Amino acid sequence: EVVTEDPETAFCTLAKREDLNLEESSIHHCLYQFTRNEKLSETNKLLCDVCTQRHCGPKKNLKSEKKYIYTNAKKQMLISLAPPILTLHLKRFQQAGFTLRKVNRHIKFPEVLDLAPFCSVKCKNVAEGNTKLLYSLYGVVEHSGTMRSGHYTAYAKMRNISNHLSELVLRGESTQVEAFGTEPVKGQWFHVSDTHVQAVSVAKVLSAQAYLLFYERLL
């Protein structure tokens, strides 16, 4: 689907990206690279239907030869709809010749993640004027071992239930709900490995070599 956007806002985000702390081994850096502005030129030029029609006119005979016009362009992938649950899947392998190699590097991830710098300025379910889109971490999946064998474990947060917050959500009073959204959801973290479950600290969770990250929306 081709959507015509205002060129002034087509590549704008909810929050400034210049203020980000882009440590190379961090989730912020990963998201920044995934949503970076790319230039399409030379062999990556974009096939432009408008330019083609302007140059050749409407195509009347399907069998007639038509010269397609390619043009330089910019491309950027941004989030257009903020999900209630955000799942981030880290690519933990790389090609090494004819084999796959597991990537064991630690990737830093926060307890509270602001997704606004990676969202379109016209993000559909974000109130106008909002420059923050906060998510609280509640689950992590970790893999130990190699590409051929290993073991999956998980960190999960048992969260405290706020009856008052639940009532506000059910009544749709979003402005009051936002007052709860500046801090991570309180609760106790547990490490789960098969039938073994152990209470752990937040620091232990944040030191994990994450394979999957699960966040829930606060704002």
Contact (Cβ atoms closer than 8 angstroms) between residue 84 and residue 58: no
Rounded CA-CA distance 55/57 in Å is: 6
Rounded CA-CA distance 3/193 in Å is: 47
Which sequence spans correspond to the domains of the chain?
80-174+182-217
Asked whether the whole model's pTM tops 0.85, one would answer no
Distances (CA, A) of 26 to 31, 64, 96, 210: 9, 52, 23, 11
pLDDT of res. 115: 94
Which 8-state DSSP code applies to residue 42? G
The one-letter amino acid at 28: H
pLDDT of res. 76: 87
> How many helices (H) and strands (E) would you count in the chain?
5, 13
Which run of H or of E encompasses 53?
A: helix 49-56
pLDDT of res. 53: 77
pLDDT < 50 regions, the chain: 1, 62-63, 169, 174-177, 179
pLDDT of res. 198: 96
Contact (Cβ atoms closer than 8 angstroms) between residue 109 and residue 206: yes
pLDDT in tens, 151-199: 999 999 998 766 555 565 455 554 444 545 556 778 999 999 999 999 9
Residues in the chain: 219
Rounded CA-CA distance 152/141 in Å is: 7
Give the 3-state secondary structure of 77-128: CCECCCCCEEEEECCCEEEECCEEEECCCCCECCCEEECHHHEECCCCCCCC
Contact (Cβ atoms closer than 8 angstroms) between residue 66 and residue 52: yes
Write down the CATH number for the domain with range 80-174+182-217.
3.90.70.10
